[in-house]
Chains A and B, each alone.
Chain A
Amino acid sequence: MNLDLIKNRNVNKNNIMLLGLGVAIFIIMSILEPRIFLRSANIRGMFVQLPEYGILCYGMMLAMISGGIDLSLVGIANLASIVAASVMIGQDGSPFSIVLGIIAALLVGATCGLFNGFLIGYLKIPAMLVTLCGLQLYIGLGLAITKGPAMTGLPEAYGNIANKLFLGIPIPFYVFVVVTAVIAFIMRSTIYGQQLKFMGTNETASKYSGINNLKVTLITYMTGGILGAISGVLISSHYNSAKSDYGSSYTLLTLLIVVLGGTDPDGGEGNVMGVAFAVLLLQLVSSAFNILRINSFLKTFVYGLILVLTMLITGYFDVRGRDKN
């Protein structure tokens, strides 16, 4: 019983730390640059941008909990948005076409995810290789459709999805909240969510416990694909155009956030709130960089550094914890 409490407290510690860091940055920035940082345009900008990669993070998180990785999410996002754009342009941009386009995007996402899941779960090709190849394939398909340049001329109403406010907050943020809730529900309240953790901890033992690993893998990457598609819709709506190489920096960012959010890179553990907090934190960092006019390339550098340091620190505590036992 005591141990139980300690364990729960440990899980929360990471979340509290992330939240604390977020609040600290918020306060510091509010003091340093109150006029710019607290301006509604800045806050709104954060709320528009954060869902774009935040939703991808959950796809990465699921894949990582399952013991794999999904590097193709950005490719799926772009391919889905390109297909959606083709549908909408083909249908003359009527409101109905927008619905049709979004459905098409989700279908494309699910299909790509299933394809990944099939190669990983059935043919047993390592997830890293599959999704790396998948990325190439999806970008390639996107390029084949767009012939290179961005697809423009999307219906104006489509742009509203990302750019309109509801109760003063941009719509994408609501999407992010809903997705977070759904993923939290899946992880907590479905058998799949439990089986995912078991499979990620020990694939052989889960097979020997009667868990259908193939099914779990398929659902995992399909969900990832659908999340990729949702993010793709938000990105293309934000720019009101679709292109095969939008958001190419998001892969590293999602990986960083998911690890930072307390997901075990070896699989088996992960918590939705941790990832959600890490998404918020990284958006604050990014925003702070922009406002302080720090060279935006420095962000790439810092993100890489944070990723490596997080891995080193968690690795250090793992070893220490093991020795103590």
Chain B
Amino acid sequence: MAEELIRLEKIKKYFNGVKALKGVDLTINKGEIHCLAGENGCGKSTLIKVISGAHEPTDGKIYFCNKEKTHLSPIDSIHMGVQVIYQDFAVFPNLSVAENIAMNKNLVENNKKMNWKKARELSIKALDMVGAKIDPDILVERLSISNKQMVAISRALINDAKVLILDEPTTALTAREVNLLNETLRKLKEKGMAIVIVNHKLDEIYDIADRLTILRNGQNVATGLIEEFDRKRFVNCMTGREIVDEIYQPVTSDQEICKVSNLGLTGYFQNVDFSLYKGDVLGITGLLGSGRGEIGDALFGINPATEGTISINGEDRKINSISDAVKYGIGYVPEDRLTQGLFLTRSISDNTVAASLSEYMENGKLNRNKIDRVTAKWIEDIGCVAASTEIPIKTLSGGNAQKMVIAKWLNTHPKLLILNGPTVGVDIGSKFDIHKILHELAATGVGVIIITDDLSELYYNCNKLIIMSNGESSGVLQMKDYTESEISEMIKNATKDLK
């Protein structure tokens, strides 16, 4: 029988009344790789923060080696041998790579002294373990995302952890780096370490997992050995329904909405060409840092393109700033909803009109009634569940809040709507709704661009696809020419051997 390291019983965690975890059980054994799977927003990250002591659970029991622990603090958890690599890495941008790596070990061992020479040696050793080549003296703020992740992984590895938890560790890694990481993890497992990986990418889970726990909406759905899950059961458990997604097949039209040629931004991407016709939904994918997000940023004027032309409804437009983009009818649903998309403390109606204020200024006064009417109409049209137009938007769930971010832009009557990660952290129902909204939009003649790394989202919702790899565009692919696994293969190949 496997030796038990951590056991969670009936963990509940509420935020501002939002139930993130509704009584989750989890057991982690020595020498296993345990995958924690589930759709975005199912509570995986929250659960990890409970184990690491960053969140105190609202209710439930935590056992380390069969001993109950209450009021767990981050340092307690670290002393218990838990190391977490967070999605945002939690590295210190102002410190050197060596110091970032050595910092936690110093804390764990309660060293009062900072030994720079030792830190440097340690960091070189740790970076070697994951096969990263980074100058240990450089400041972390100068590193790319994937190198920052390498630093975070190296830092966790040198701490002789008993349990290593990785929260979505592969989002920024190339296929080769993923393999390297997997090898490292297997070696660690041999040494008896327990490894917990949070992931929602099927292929990667099958590659590495021994055991699997699936969460949905803050609850356990299934747990067991990986062999017990075939693909169908897995997907069914994750999404809670039989997948009835149909491939998006628009009524094609020759009415051109937007044409982009030879678009480039020095240092990020070049030679991007595409045109959107009425009904088209274009998907853009690739790794973080491949240039996929930067295309959206360039079209919206955040980091304006340095070369190429953009025409909207047949007219050439120069987009040098966000104001230009908004003027020409471009809307942008940003990647990070919480910091870039929402005014958290403000009401739903304020959020809805944030990009179209001037329409409501009548006779030197903001027409509150009109705003309320419009907001109520959007809430209904877009299928948002909200008690009133005046409650702060932070009380909405991820999916409903995301719908209102989209409504904010629809309220400006855009000609082109760019969505960067439109369904990140969105529950499955809302995800379905959002996709439906996008299809309807496309049918009415709004250009829709989806930037995402979610394969099924691309496959079932776009009819055109661009795969970005190291700033290079694959050219526009017609989705109907390929099967899902072919697309998956192509994305994998595009991300291979970049360096």
Binding site for B on A (CB under 8 A): 1-4, 7, 185, 188-191, 194-195, 197-198, 201-202, 204-212, 268-269, 322, 325
Nearest opposing residue in chain B for A199, CB measure: B343
A1 touches B390 (CB 8 A): yes
Summarize B's interface: helix, strand, loop or mixed: loop
- Known pairs A204-B339, A208-B340, A210-B355. 10 more at Cβ < 8 A? A3-B388, A3-B390, A198-B343, A201-B344, A201-B345, A202-B342, A210-B323, A210-B326, A210-B412, A268-B343
Q: Which residues of B contact A209 (CB under 8 A)?
A: 354-355, 408
Nearest opposing residue in chain B for A5, CB measure: B390
A-B contact count (CB 8 A): 78
- Complex A-B, nearest 10 residue pairs according to Cβ-Cβ distance, in ascending order: A210-B326, A4-B390, A189-B364, A209-B355, A201-B343, A325-B16, A209-B354, A208-B340, A208-B334, A202-B343
Cα–Cα distance between A164 and B395 once the two chains are bound (Å): 54
A202 touches B339 (CB 8 A): yes
Choose one: A204, A208, A268; the contact of B345 (CB below 8 Å). Answer: A268
Nearest opposing residue in chain A for B335, CB measure: A208
B390 touches A188 (CB 8 A): no
Shortest B242–chain A CB gap in Å is 37
Q: Does B108 contact A (CB under 8 A)?
A: no
Shortest B55–chain A CB gap in Å is 15
Cα–Cα distance between A325 and B326 once the two chains are bound (Å): 35
B365 touches A188 (CB 8 A): yes
Q: Which residues of B contact A211 (CB under 8 A)?
A: 354-355
Shortest B79–chain A CB gap in Å is 29
Nearest opposing residue in chain B for A268, CB measure: B345
Q: Does B90 contact A (CB under 8 A)?
A: no
Q: Does B251 contact A (CB under 8 A)?
A: no
A1 touches B332 (CB 8 A): no
Q: Which residues of B contact A268 (CB under 8 A)?
A: 343, 345-346
B332 touches A208 (CB 8 A): yes
Residue among A1, A205, A207, A209 facing the most chain B CB atoms (10 A cut-off) = A209
Cα–Cα distance between A3 and B17 once the two chains are bound (Å): 16
Q: Which residues of B contact A322 (CB under 8 A)?
A: 16
Cα–Cα distance between A269 and B346 once the two chains are bound (Å): 10
Q: Does B325 contact A (CB under 8 A)?
A: yes
Nearest opposing residue in chain B for A203, CB measure: B339
B355 touches A189 (CB 8 A): no
Q: Which residues of A contact B341 (CB under 8 A)?
A: 205, 208
B365-400 CB mask vs A (1 if < 8 Å, else 0) is 110000000000000000000011011000100000
Choose one: A4, A201, A208, A325; the contact of B388 (CB below 8 Å). Answer: A4
Cα–Cα distance between A3 and B348 once the two chains are bound (Å): 12
Q: Which residues of A contact B266 (CB under 8 A)?
A: none
Q: Which residues of A contact B354 (CB under 8 A)?
A: 198, 205-206, 209, 211
Cα–Cα distance between A128 and B60 once the two chains are bound (Å): 45
Q: Which residues of B contact A195 (CB under 8 A)?
A: 357
Cα–Cα distance between A189 and B300 once the two chains are bound (Å): 29
Q: Does B407 contact A (CB under 8 A)?
A: no
Cα–Cα distance between A7 and B350 once the two chains are bound (Å): 14
Cα–Cα distance between A322 and B364 once the two chains are bound (Å): 35
- Can you list 27 A-B contacts (CB < 8 A)? A1-B390, A2-B388, A3-B388, A4-B390, A7-B390, A188-B365, A188-B366, A189-B361, A189-B365, A194-B357, A195-B357, A198-B343, A198-B350, A201-B343, A201-B345, A204-B339, A204-B340, A205-B341, A205-B342, A207-B322, A208-B302, A210-B323, A211-B354, A268-B343, A268-B345, A325-B16, A325-B17
Q: Does B358 contact A (CB under 8 A)?
A: yes
Cα–Cα distance between A194 and B366 once the two chains are bound (Å): 9
Nearest opposing residue in chain A for B300, CB measure: A208
Q: Which residues of A contact B326 (CB under 8 A)?
A: 210
Nearest opposing residue in chain A for B324, CB measure: A210
Cα–Cα distance between A234 and B341 once the two chains are bound (Å): 44
Cα–Cα distance between A278 and B300 once the two chains are bound (Å): 43
Nearest opposing residue in chain A for B358, CB measure: A191
Cα–Cα distance between A237 and B322 once the two chains are bound (Å): 45
B127-161 CB mask vs A (1 if < 8 Å, else 0) is 00000000000000000000000000000000000
